[in-house]
A and B are shown apart, each in its own frame.
Chain A
Amino acid sequence: MPGMGSSSGTNSSPIVAAFHSALLRQGALIFVLLVVLFVAWNVFCSWQYRHVSAPGTTTDPSSTPLRSEPQARRFLRISFGLLWLFDGLLQLQSNMPLDLPGNVLRPSASTSPGWVQSLVNFAADTWTRHPTAAAASAVWIQLGIGALLLVAPRGRWSRFAGASSVAWGMVVWIFGEAFGGIFAPGLTILFGAPGAVLFYVIAGVLVALPERAWDGRKLGEIVTGSLGIFFLVMAALQAWPGRGFWHGSVHNQPGTLVGMVRDMASASQPHALSSTASWFASLDQAHGWIVNFVVVVLLAGVGLALIVGGRFLRPGVYVFAGFALCVWVVVQDLGVWGGTGTDPNSMVPLLLLVIGGYLAWRPEPVDAETTLPQTSFDAESRSDGVEAGGRWRQMSPRYSGRLAATIGAATVILIGAAPMVEASTSSSADPLLIESVNGPPALANGVAPAFHLIDQRGHPVSLADLRGYTVALTFLDPVCTTDCPVIAQQMREANQMLGSAGSKVRFVSIVANPTYNAVSTVAAFNRQEGLNTMSNWLFLTGPLPSLRQVWRAYGEEVQNAPAGGMAVHADIVYVIDAKGVTRRAMTADPGDGSADHQSFASLLAQEISQVTSS
């Protein structure tokens, strides 16, 4: 579950700096937009004041009695709005860009079926390829949803806020929480099942409902009844024999719950919290049966109370509040500790949902009927038939201010979502990833050493023959088992990224193996890597003395390793311009994983483009 991972502590400063830079850039854009909206609002208010003050103009003070926003809806809207804001602030942690896929996303699906892992891996891969864009997007989307829920109390915009909460919540629940682990073994409410964000989704659905759905206590009955069934299911799962919750220890090994809590207690956090979790783990280890019995009875009791309703409902809510807070502190560790915390875990939103359901069930106080002017934000949503000019003239400053704030919040979501959408549809990766591994390309400005070799077809090729083309030159071992095939593939990918500009580029590799350097071996490597069809690919070789001369000229130290080791050489790519001048020297270590590889291809394509266009 989110918040339960442990920090790898592998913050790479270029990535973190880029993350902060992206946040600042988008933040500046949002700030400018808000200033524009504020100015527009002021101008509008001035215009409206002049219009109202003009002789012969009368405002329409007529008021229609309108019921204020239902208490339960307001509670859910504001509380979940605050939760989204809190989650958005958690996304600001510096380790989010690099650690979220490995510490939160992939672990959440590790015990789930293959198809769930595939979904989560897609999200993790997308995040890994574009860590700064994705992390910054998550911040703004969540802050935007939170703000939108808070500033839009009624009407279409408010329902849109609920729908946004549902949409983003589903994305997080499926791709970030692996469906809250409901398809994995060991499901338990104590550790966040069925996923904290699912409760955000449910709250969003309720906020997005038409206002008439809140009339009477029907909606309250549905919510509390459904939650009651949910608690009964969780109680049954907790009590199910063979799932390990009845035993504090099995054959001197910690039981299921004890193991989970111990893991949680070992995460980095304030001592008071870890000692509380450790105390509970010890208690459960010693009295596992009693602890589980109490949990099962409480869950079943709350479930029955919510289903039966009536006079049992209020005590049921109180009991669950106590239970939820205890679990949140001693089992869920407040949700945010232990590295890459992304939300306060499930007990807080679940409790808010239970309270919201109770408020919806409870009859509204009689004095809730208030008289609001027709021009209120609330009324606007119902006034589709009002003549447009009249509506603008009759708008109150409060309403127009809220409208401006709502538009601002919605724009924050859009500004956040745009890079995320772009990242999820892009097959390339941020060049910054590989730069954080290898360092940035070194600028150079020297004449590239000449060579006279033969290509994979046996034709002679010299550097002079390549004048007029930008040359990406590297050294590869045709029988290499590790980096060289990957580098070759990334050069091919860079060529694809260049598109038609690739026709002005030659990708050249020179054999880096003192033993395996025959033309036939080079051709075998090309076949292995599917490079035969790449028209601008040249794999050059030649007699060993010629090769040694070229290696020396380019500073390549190539030698055989003893005892079954691979031939040793440096992974480097030179970008040589059309005049034969070396312009870039890039470390070509392809890094670990496909994201790094794609990042290398992106960086290479970027550098080639710059050299070609300069």
Chain B
Amino acid sequence: MRGRTLLTSFLVAGLVVVLVVVLERPSTPQPSSGQSTSSMTLPLTSASSSTSESSVVLAMGHLDDPTNTFWELFVRSASDSSWRLRTPPGVADNGGLILATSAVGSFTAGILPSLHLTFSPLAQSMSGGQAWSPGHFPTGLAVAPNALASASSGALFAVGSNDGGSLYASEGIASSWKRVITSRSLASSVKGCTVRSITAVTLSSSGKPILGLSCSSGARLGVVTASQAPPATGSWRTIGPSLGGDPGVTSVLRLEATADGITGLATITSKTHTESLVAVWGQGAAPLWEQSQRRALPAGWAIASTSVGPSGQDQQVAALLRSGAKRQIVEVDRGSKAWSELPSPPANTEAITTLASEIDAFVVSGSRLSIWTLPKGASTWHKAEGVVVPLQYGSSS
């Protein structure tokens, strides 16, 4: 009898322990809606300058609320001292806006999908953004500032967000689009770079597409070009500069055709997860490349905005870095190839643009935009102008 009591006691104690352990280790709660964190996105906030005009694309509104974040295009011609709002009308651009400029001065804007919209409306302007013609890209554009390129002939090239980035071509804004190549196909044909995705597109002076890539490894920066102009693009070959061994993961952030050739900006993430910036300038059909020194990003800092400056020997590439509320601008020019840090920009600077004689910082506070200027060689910023943008809060929610 006593043995039975003992056995019962042990069974009860065992049961209690099992139940406690089971109940104490609940399954991890699942988030109600998951978001993929694996896809690489590049900062869309960007600026480009040529000798005739400059443009900047930036986000305004409630930047922590995607449905009340509006992407705006500002343009400033060389003959004008003010920036003008030139955002294409007729479509909600909460998902993002990218801009391609052509050698003949046309603008082509691409709207990134958001909410229920899954393809990308396009708009083209031959008047510096004052009047726009509509079009559309059949899938979503890649989230990259140079995912769209425009030829002098009116032909367009775009990087779609599907399949890790595919290149598409169209004869014009109102024409149909055809897929030229996928990143998977590129991966099997390109040497010197293990292709992850297509991140940028621009055009050579002869109209051949030049692609910027993200590479998981390789001794060369991921820049490739087609042997022929579309529609028969022929084979693809690597033309990116050598990086001196395999530095790690490389991604081309910017790739722009300029009067002097090609200007690019890339990130290199080393095997020890240190991220650095490198600017490249190429010239000629099989470009002879010049590279900047590498600029390591301090731990905890990220790239917020990039700018490619006007043509010339001093052509600049600049990046706005952000760490929480802190901002830092780093700049490199083709002449010195050495990165320098500029005086701290005003608080809430969201974008920068490098002009011939100055750098402009765009400070966003809701629908208010303040533009601050730092003349070349100066040490203090001064406010140049203020703009109130008529944002339509709540229109996309």
Contact = CB atoms under 8 A, between A and B. Distances in A.
A113 B27 contact: yes
Given A112-B29, A117-B32, A565-B392, A481 B114 contact: yes
B392 A182 contact: no
Interface string A166-202: 0000000000000000111101000000000000000
A479 B28 contact: no
Contacts of A567: 90-91
B134 A229 contact: no
Given A524-B138, A565-B392, A566-B395, A240 B24 contact: yes
B87 A482 contact: no
B170 to A, nearest CB: 11
A606 interface: no
Interface stretch (B14-22, B158-166, B326-334): B14-22
Given A515-B132, A563-B87, A564-B391, A481 B396 contact: yes
A250 interface: no
Given A516-B91, A528-B117, A528-B118, A237 B26 contact: no
Contacts of A516: 90-91, 121, 134, 136
B23 interface: yes
Contacts of A514: 90
Interface in B107-129: 111, 113-119, 121, 123
Contacts of A482: 92, 115-116, 396-397
A22 B171 CA distance: 62
Contacts of B94: 481, 564
B389 A521 contact: no
A485 B117 CA distance: 8
A232 to B, nearest CB: 5
B362 interface: no
Given A528-B118, A561-B392, A515 B91 contact: yes
B90 A481 contact: no
A437 to B, nearest CB: 16
A111 B29 contact: yes
Interface residues of B, number: 52
Contacts of B32: 117
B361 interface: no
A486 B116 CA distance: 8
A563 B392 contact: yes
Nearest to A300: B16
Nearest to B132: A515
A114 interface: yes
B116 A485 contact: yes
B97 A564 contact: yes
Contacts of B12: 225, 228-229, 232, 307
A546 interface: no
A183 B70 contact: no
Given A561-B395, A564-B93, A566-B395, A240 B87 contact: no
Contacts of B89: 515, 560-562
B58 to A, nearest CB: 11
A214 B71 CA distance: 74
Interface string A505-531: 000000001111110110010011000
Contacts of B136: 479, 516, 520-521, 524
Interface string A478-499: 0111101110000000000000
B90 A233 contact: no
B30 interface: yes
A602 B85 CA distance: 44
Interface string B52-72: 000000001000000000111
Interface in A344-377: none
A113 B16 contact: no
A443 interface: no
A563 B24 contact: no
A236 interface: yes
A461 interface: no
Of the listed residues B24, B72, B85, B391, the one surrounded by the most CB atoms of chain A closer than 10 A to its CB is: B24
A524 B341 CA distance: 47
B390 interface: yes
Contacts of B395: 561, 565-566, 568
Nearest to B15: A229
Given A182-B23, A481-B117, A566 B132 contact: no
B137 to A, nearest CB: 9
A113 B389 CA distance: 45
Nearest to A485: B116
B90 A479 contact: yes
Contact of A563 (B85, B111, B116, B134): B85
Interface in A209-233: 225, 228-229, 232-233
A561 B91 CA distance: 8
Given A515-B134, A520-B176, A528-B117, 18 more contacts: A113-B26, A183-B26, A184-B26, A185-B26, A187-B23, A229-B12, A233-B16, A236-B16, A237-B20, A480-B92, A480-B117, A482-B116, A482-B397, A560-B89, A562-B89, A564-B97, A564-B391, A566-B91
Interface of B: 12, 15-17, 19-20, 23-24, 26-30, 32, 60, 70-72, 85, 87, 89-95, 97, 111, 113-119, 121, 123, 132, 134-136, 138, 174, 176, 389-392, 395-397
9 contacts: A237-B24, A479-B136, A480-B116, A481-B94, A562-B87, A562-B89, A563-B72, A565-B391, A567-B91
